[in-house]
Amino acid sequence: MDVGGTKIAASVVDSEGNACSNIRVATERQDTARSIGQIAELAHRAVELSRIPWGDISAVGVAVPGIYYAATGLVWAPNLPGWDHIPLRNKLAGKLPARIVLDSDRAAYVTGEQWLGIARGLTDVIFLAVGTGIGAGIISSGRLIRGAGDIAGAVGWFALDPRAKEIYSRIGCFEAEAAGPSLARRAGGGLTTETVIEWARQGNLDARQIVDETVQYLAMGVANLVSVLNPQMIVLGGGLMQAGDLFLEPLRREMLQWAQPIAAQQVRIELSTLGEDAGLLGAARLAFLGSEG
């Protein structure tokens, strides 16, 4: 299952990555009891649709849009009202007759792409999600990097410009300068990010300039991941990368200006091939691996 701020997806996935009985619905956002109930109900519906008995289901993997604290089983998800350190693992365990495996969406994205996507079989991969926010899932030498407090990958906070703005202290410098909303902010005048992207595609010079500025910060952030972790591949995903045609080539070029030169030559920068399914398939993979009980 992939729980997002706006949508929840569920699917029954076999150990080869074949998925059946996919369901995708709007997330219940009224209160935590209803959203937790919705997750359990959706799991039951997906299993029912698949006609596989619960006894044959190895585990339920759930990707959450925030931080999963493995030691306590608590979840913090800033975009879901009330999801402030809720005991999701325990709550779901009472409603589902299978082992529950939770993890952050970042961990699920990179795991999904490494299992079945563009990064299939690689050992050193980073998934950089650029949407409303920015975050990274990191696999190094085949292992997920979690950090001491389970919040590794908070790269939206990368410091990329010493000329600090007030917004940096609220959402982080990289996120302020390069996440989706940054395009609308640069444009001003009530324009949306979608409009800026549309105008840039049509060759509008002001819109192109705005895209170029965003690309510069994106390239700096990507370069920093290259220099510190020396990955084989960085997979770009998230909403903004639906405009990957505008961003990918200039980002690759500009990254070379910043990253450690040998590491920059070794890395491939690619768009996600699993798209919306990366989190769902990654959650399934994590469930099979059983990283958390």
As measured in angstroms, the least distance from the Cβ of 253 to its own copies is 13
Nearest to 283 by CA among 49, 58, 60, 99: 60
Of 109 and 158, nearer to its own copies (C-beta) is 158
Nearest to 133 by CA among 112, 102, 104: 104
Residues that bind its own copies (CB under 8 A): 122-124, 136, 138, 140-141, 143, 145-162, 164, 168-169, 172-173, 216-217, 219-221, 223-225, 227-232, 257-260, 262-263, 266
Of 189 and 261, nearer to its own copies (C-beta) is 261
As measured in angstroms, the least distance from the Cβ of 141 to its own copies is 7
As measured in angstroms, the least distance from the Cβ of 53 to its own copies is 37
As measured in angstroms, the least distance from the Cβ of 150 to its own copies is 8
- Token code pair at residue 80: 């879901």
Nearest to 266 by CA among 277, 275, 255: 255
C-alpha distances out from residue 179 to 54, 107, 131, 172, 275, Å:
40, 19, 6, 10, 17
Nearest to 193 by CA among 209, 180, 178, 175: 180
As measured in angstroms, the least distance from the Cβ of 46 to its own copies is 33
Of 92 and 102, nearer to its own copies (C-beta) is 102
Of 120 and 143, nearer to its own copies (C-beta) is 143
Of 145 and 289, nearer to its own copies (C-beta) is 145
Of 1 and 179, nearer to its own copies (C-beta) is 179
Of 1 and 129, nearer to its own copies (C-beta) is 129
Cβ-Cβ contacts under 8 Å for 137 (sequence gap 6 or more)? 104, 105, 106, 107, 108, 109, 110, 111, 126, 127, 129, 144, 153
Helix, strand, coil percentages (3-state) for the chain, rounded to 5, are 45, 20, 35
Q: How many CB atoms lie within 10 A of CB 238?
A: 20
Q: How far apart are CA 72 and CA 88, in angstroms?
A: 10
Helix (H, G, I), strand (E, B) or coil at 82: coil
125 has which bridge partners? Answer: 139, 233
As measured in angstroms, the least distance from the Cβ of 124 to its own copies is 4
As measured in angstroms, the least distance from the Cβ of 219 to its own copies is 8
The b-or-e profile of 104-142 (16+ CB within 10 A means b, else e) is: bbbbbbbbbbbbbbbbeebebbbbbbbbbbbbbbbbeee
Of 34 and 85, nearer to its own copies (C-beta) is 85
As measured in angstroms, the least distance from the Cβ of 98 to its own copies is 27
- Token code pair at residue 6: 């706006």
